[in-house]
Amino acid sequence: MGLACAVAVCGIVSWAELVVMYIQIGMLQFPPVAIGGFFLLLLADRLARRFRKRMGLDPAELVTVYVMMLLAAMVSSRGLMEKWLPVLVAPNYYANASNRWQKLFFPHIPHWMVPFDPGKGEQQPVAKWFYEGLHYGEPIPWRDWAVPILCWLVLIGAVFGAFLCLAAILRRQWVDGEKLSFPLVQLPLEMARTQESGAFLTNRLTWLGAAVPAFFFTLNGLHNIFPSVPGVPLEYNLNQFVVSRPWSDIDLVTAYCSFAGIGFFYFLASELLFALWFFFLLARFQDIVASSFGMVPEGMPLYPTRLFIGYQVAGAYCILAGYLFYVSLPHLKGVVRQAFGKSPADDSGELLSYRTAFWGLCLALAVIVGWLVAAGMSLWLAVFQMAVYLLVVSLVMARSAAEAGMPMTETSFRPVDLVSMVVPRSHLGPTNLTLLTFMDAVFTRDLRGLLLAGFLDSSKLGDGVRFRRKRLVWVFLVTIAVSIAAAGFFQLWLPYRRGAITMYSYPYWGNSLWGFQDNAPAMEGGLPFNWRAPVFFGVGACVTLFLAAMRARFWWWPFHPMGYALCASWSMIVFWFPILIAWVLKTLIARYGGMRLYTQARPFFLGLILGEFTMAVFWTGISALTRAPAPSFPWP
C-alpha cells in the first residue's frame, strides 16, 4: 500500500507542479499532497473498519504509509527531481551566440554528466525535444539519458546516504537530549494515534478549524471559474504603500495569509515565534537605514535579499552550526568512541548503529568528493563545497524544521559565496565554476524538500507509535529508490510529450539557468572582490555569538539566534505574517485561558492545517480534470 501511494504521489506532484503549475503541492517539508493523501487513507481505513475491524491499519502501519508519501513528495519535487533533470539539458537548449555558453561552459562539462554531447554545439535533439516536445509517435530518447542518470545516481546516493547517517547520529541529541518539539509531525501523529478511536476525526474543533480554509479556498476557486463569485485575496503586497525614499527601498514585504502556517506555528514556543517575526522586520528596517545613509541596494546573488543581509545570515549559519556541534559535543564524543570500539553505547534503538552511521558518513563524504574530483573540480573546493552544504547549511535547515517548525527550508547563500569573501570568484577557474553551477542547481541553492529533515521527522513519528527505527531504514531505502524511478519516468515523459517551455517556469527556465547566468561574468574575468562580504559576515557572526551566549546565560532572553539566521530567507518572506498571527493568538490564549485553553484549542489549529492542505489536493484534482485555474495558495 505504501509503495502504491508513493508512486501515486510522484505522479500527482509531477502533474500538479509542472503541468497545472498553480499549486506547488510537494515542495514543503510538510507536503500538502502527503497530508491530503493521508487524510484520504484514514477515511478509507474508517470505511474498512465498518465492514471488518481486522481490516483496519494500526498506527504503526499508518505512519509507515505516511512516511513513504512524505519522502516520495520530497524526491519528486524540489528535494531532487525538479532541480536535477532540467539542468542536464538546459545549458544546451539555451546556449546561443549572445551568451557564449558553448565557449564558456561546454569545454568543461564531462560527457558522462549530461545527455547531450558538449563538443557538438547548441540545441542538440535530446535538449530540443525536451523543451519543444516530440511529434506524435516519436520515441523518447531514453538511451541518451541512461549514462548520465546512472553516473549522477552515484553522487545522489552518497548525498542521501550522508543525510541518513547524520540523522542517525543527531536523533538522540535533538529528541532525547534537547527535547525539540518537531512541530511538523504533530498533525500526522495525532491522526494516526486516534484513528482507532476516531477522536481526531470526530472532534468538532477539528472540523471547525478545517472549515475556515475550506471556505476561503472554495470561494477563490469558484471565483476563478465563475468571476461573478466574489474572491478573497490572501496575499497583500505591503511595499505598494511606501513610495518615497528611504521607505521605498525596503525589500519585499508581502503578507501571505496561510491558515496552515498559523496552525504550524501555534505549536512553537512563544519566544521563538517572537524572534522569527522580530528579526524579519529588523532585516527590513536595515534596508531603511542603509538607504538613509546613501547605500545603493545590492542583491545577494540568486537570492531575494540584500547582499549585506545575506552575508550576515552566512555568518549566523556558521556560528549556529558551530554552536549546535558544541552543545552536542558529549553525545558526539560517545558516537566517535563507539565507532572506534572504545566504549559500548546503547544504540539498538537508533536508525543505524553509531559505528555504521559514523563510517557510513565518512564513506559518503569520500564518494562525494571523489565524484566531484573525477568530474574536474579541485580537491579543496570539493571538500569545502560539500562540507558547508552538509554540515552547515543542511544542518541549520534541518534544525529550523525540528525546532522552529519551518515548513519550507530555504537559505540565503551558497558555499561559493563564502569563497567569494576571500578571493574573486573568477580565480576559481572555468572548470570549477562550471561544476559549481551544476552543484548549486541540483543541491546547494534551493533546499526545499530537504531529506535530512524528512529522515528526522520520520524518526520522531516512529517514536510516537512505538515503531522500531531500524525498520524505518528499509522504508527509506525502498521508497527513495521507487520514487526516483517513478518520478524520473514522469518528469522525462511529460517534457518530451508536452514540451518543457509550456510547463512550469521555475525548473525549466529558472533554477536550471540562473547559475550559468551568474557565473558567466566570472568566467570572463568579471566580478571583482567585494569588501562588504567579509565585513557583514563578521557582523552576522558576532551578533549570533552574542545571541547564543545571552540565551545560554539568561532564561528570559527573548531573542533566539534561529530567528536571526532565518531572517532573510524566502521561508520568512512567505511565513512571517502567519508567524506574527500565531504569536498574537498564542499569547492571548496563554494569558487569558492558561494551559487548559491552549490544550483545548489544539484540535482547531490542527484542523487549519488539515483544511488548507486537503483543499490543495482537492483543487489540484479539479484543475487537472477541468483545466480551470486553481486558487492561489499562500506558500509559493
Lowest model confidence (mean pLDDT) among 301-310, 337-346, 536-545: 337-346
Report the pLDDT value the prediction gives residue 260, as an integer from 0 to 100: 92
The answer to whether residue 539 sits within a structural domain is: yes
At 236, give phi and psi (nearest 5°).
-130, 120
Q: Which domain holds residue 489?
A: 2-626
Which band of pLDDT confidence, cut at 50, 70 and 90, is reported for residue 636?
A: low
| Model confidence at 294: pLDDT above 90 | no
| Model confidence at 635: pLDDT above 80 | no
- Give me the mean pLDDT over the 551-569 stretch: 90
The amino acid at 367: V
Question: Is there a contact between 115 and 141 (Cβ–Cβ < 8 Å)?
Answer: yes
Report whether the peptide linkage leading into residue 246 is cis, meaning its omega lies within 30 degrees of zero.
yes
- Give me the mean pLDDT over the 88-114 stretch: 94
| Model confidence at 196: pLDDT above 70 | no
- Give me the mean pLDDT over the 505-514 stretch: 93
| Model confidence at 22: pLDDT above 80 | no
Which band of pLDDT confidence, cut at 50, 70 and 90, is reported for residue 311?
A: very high
- Give me the mean pLDDT over the 585-605 stretch: 91
- Give me the mean pLDDT over the 7-31 stretch: 89
Lowest model confidence (mean pLDDT) among 45-54, 68-77, 215-224, 465-474: 45-54
Residue ranges with strand state E in 363-420: none
The answer to whether residue 634 sits within a structural domain is: no
The amino acid at 291: S
| Model confidence at 442: pLDDT above 80 | yes
Domains: count for the chain: 1
Report the pLDDT value the prediction gives residue 463, as an integer from 0 to 100: 84
Which band of pLDDT confidence, cut at 50, 70 and 90, is reported for residue 50?
A: confident
The answer to whether residue 632 sits within a structural domain is: no
The answer to whether residue 118 sits within a structural domain is: yes
The answer to whether residue 173 sits within a structural domain is: yes
Report the pLDDT value the prediction gives residue 53, as an integer from 0 to 100: 73
pLDDT digit string, tens, across residues 400-423: 999 988 888 899 999 999 998 988
The H-or-E segment that residue 562 falls in is helix 561-565
As a whole-number percent, the residues of the chain with pLDDT over 70 amount to 98
- Going by C-alpha positions, the residue among 474, 469, 473 that lies closest to residue 459 is 469
Q: Whole-angstrom Cα distance, residue 449 to residue 451?
A: 6
- Give me the mean pLDDT over the 48-77 stretch: 89
Which band of pLDDT confidence, cut at 50, 70 and 90, is reported for residue 111?
A: very high
pLDDT digit string, tens, across residues 155-179: 999 999 999 999 999 999 999 899 8
pLDDT digit string, tens, across residues 198-256: 677 788 999 999 999 999 999 999 998 888 889 899 999 998 888 888 888 898 899 99
- Going by C-alpha positions, the residue among 228, 209, 230, 208 that lies closest to residue 220 is 230
Report the pLDDT value the prediction gives residue 198, as an integer from 0 to 100: 66
CB-based burial of residue 333 (10 Å sphere; 0-12 exposed, 13-18 middle, 19+ buried)?
exposed
| Model confidence at 529: pLDDT above 80 | no
127 Rama class: left (phi>0) / alpha (psi -120 to 50) / beta? alpha
Which band of pLDDT confidence, cut at 50, 70 and 90, is reported for residue 114?
A: very high
The model's pTM is 0.93
Which band of pLDDT confidence, cut at 50, 70 and 90, is reported for residue 466?
A: confident
Which band of pLDDT confidence, cut at 50, 70 and 90, is reported for residue 55?
A: confident
* Length of the chain, in residues: 636
Place of cell 511595499: 239
The answer to whether residue 409 sits within a structural domain is: yes
Q: Whole-angstrom Cα distance, residue 477 to residue 462?
A: 16
Question: Is there a contact between 543 and 564 (Cβ–Cβ < 8 Å)?
Answer: yes
DSSP-assigned beta bridge partners for residue 237: 254
- Give me the mean pLDDT over the 110-122 stretch: 93
| Model confidence at 450: pLDDT above 80 | yes
Report the pLDDT value the prediction gives residue 199, as an integer from 0 to 100: 75
CA 22 to chain centre: 18
CB-based burial of residue 157 (10 Å sphere; 0-12 exposed, 13-18 middle, 19+ buried)?
middle
| Model confidence at 195: pLDDT above 80 | no
Which band of pLDDT confidence, cut at 50, 70 and 90, is reported for residue 20?
A: confident
- The mean pLDDT value of the chain amounts to 91
| Model confidence at 388: pLDDT above 80 | yes
Report the pLDDT value the prediction gives residue 526, as an integer from 0 to 100: 65
As a whole-number percent, the residues of the chain with pLDDT over 90 amount to 65
Q: SS in 3 state form for 201-223?
A: HHCHHHHHHHHHHHHHHHHHHHH
The answer to whether residue 635 sits within a structural domain is: no
